[in-house]
Chains A and B, each alone.
Chain A
């Protein structure tokens, strides 16, 4: 699936949940599905700054595609990073760098995108794109 197809699927999934509580329960559930970062990478080098909780994110290039693993010590944040990994993992660096992440607004998480929010969703997006660009230059 392309990045946009995944986004559309998520928008569809989230449309079932009208209530914010169900939405957060779903996000928490998604957190449990995140491909976990190896313990050896859970160090400061892979921490995303700008989050009140800790978020670790590790990128890997395989067959010209970027695969992310991640973790967080807060479960809502873990759900948010899981969402981002779901959308961006398994695509080429170029696709990731150029991705327009319209789903965040559509599923009602736009409030989390503000640079002043403590959860760092914006920092996650930035860091994932930066990793993609860096891997693109290396390949």
Chain B
């Protein structure tokens, strides 16, 4: 394992040296989006300064180098998640679009009235609503895997949810609201024993744990660039080749066609079949730089450091009187959600912001999770590789100060 040097890492992120409200920025909203290292920022500038051109069309030089760079990212993603084929990597706008593509296209091909789709009780709205929309359209039903008070899925209940009508399972690798790491491999194996394909939402996992889609044998795997130190507006849908081939295209337009006449259009092959229109070229190219950045540091080293931070933050937060952690799973990653007795999360967020500390407050786009715990929302501290123990100390001081005012 490579050695992890926090000072070198922090020096790569220009935004970390700015102030907010006259205080040094302490950024704990990494579950929403991470900051970008200068390696990514420089690549964005380089793209516009040196290569800007549309991809997959021109014979001219700039178009060729843009196209090449865009396709290099596809291969980097392939290597990063250990996909078998390059064309199994579909470049999307983000996790949300990737899930919508599967809901729409897999749904059109395979779902009929009375079929069932299994999701879990801890999903982000983006892994609930596309399936609800499909259910409304097709007359299929959602079955929901329940969770216990610690925020862990009930795997026995999950096993019992399968029926002959189960057509797809979709759940998150890591909960954005609770930090729970789900037993992904075990859950995939359960579904496959019923011949049911599985989509795993990797939005909160890809930046923290090494993913091998072939070892997992996952059928669809989705994630966003902006939560893994990359640009906004770019994401990935990985799908097994045969599944993607059996699905109709998502949107019609340029790039996704082979031949167009007014009588009949034939569609392009993978991956372009699912990539209609001009993509976010700059973000697509620079996602590759974000992957390089993570690979250079090494996910094992990142994971070890973040686990140490998570343990430290959890232990220090436990000092706060009246604190209640929401999500106390045995296996957690980088997210601490909590409430404090008698204090609204919003009030805590406002005071911390005044102290230069960024946290997320509210339901975190996971209202059913909040309902399950009977709370309107939480304060969420989500960590990234550039956070430090000193920042956690600043959070504790800020929290004590806020509670002093609010209680």
Contact = CB atoms under 8 A, between A and B. Distances in A.
B133 interface: no
Nearest to A112: B350
By CB atoms of chain A within 10 A, which of B347, B354, B361, B362 has the most?
Answer: B347
A77 B346 CA distance: 9
A53 B406 contact: no
Nearest to B342: A75
A85 B347 CA distance: 20
Interface in B10-57: 21
A114 to B, nearest CB: 14
Interface of A: 20-21, 24-25, 28, 52-54, 73-77, 118-119
Nearest to B377: A52
Interface in B331-355: 344, 346-347, 350-351, 354
Given A21-B354, A24-B354, A75-B347, A52 B361 contact: yes
11 contacts: A24-B354, A52-B361, A53-B344, A53-B376, A73-B376, A74-B347, A75-B406, A76-B350, A76-B351, A118-B346, A119-B350
B405 interface: yes
B405 A28 contact: yes
A74 B376 CA distance: 11
Interface residues of B, number: 13
By CB atoms of chain A within 10 A, which of B344, B351, B405 has the most?
Answer: B344
A75 B377 CA distance: 15
Given A24-B354, A52-B377, A76-B346, 4 more contacts: A54-B376, A75-B347, A118-B361, A119-B346
Contacts of A53: 344, 346-347, 376
Contact of A74 (B21, B344, B354, B405): B344
A53 B361 CA distance: 10
B406 to A, nearest CB: 6
A119 to B, nearest CB: 7
Given A52-B377, A54-B376, A25 B405 contact: yes
Contacts of B361: 52, 118
A123 B344 CA distance: 19
A77 B405 CA distance: 14
A28 B405 CA distance: 8
Nearest to B351: A24
Nearest to A20: B354
Given A25-B405, A52-B362, A52-B377, A76 B354 contact: no
Contacts of A73: 344, 376
B344 A75 contact: yes
A21 B354 CA distance: 8
A77 B166 CA distance: 46
Contacts of B351: 24, 76
Considering the complex of A and B, which 6 residue pairs feature the smallest CB-CB distances, nearest first?
A: A74-B344, A74-B346, A53-B346, A52-B346, A76-B347, A74-B347
A75 B404 CA distance: 13
Nearest to A28: B405
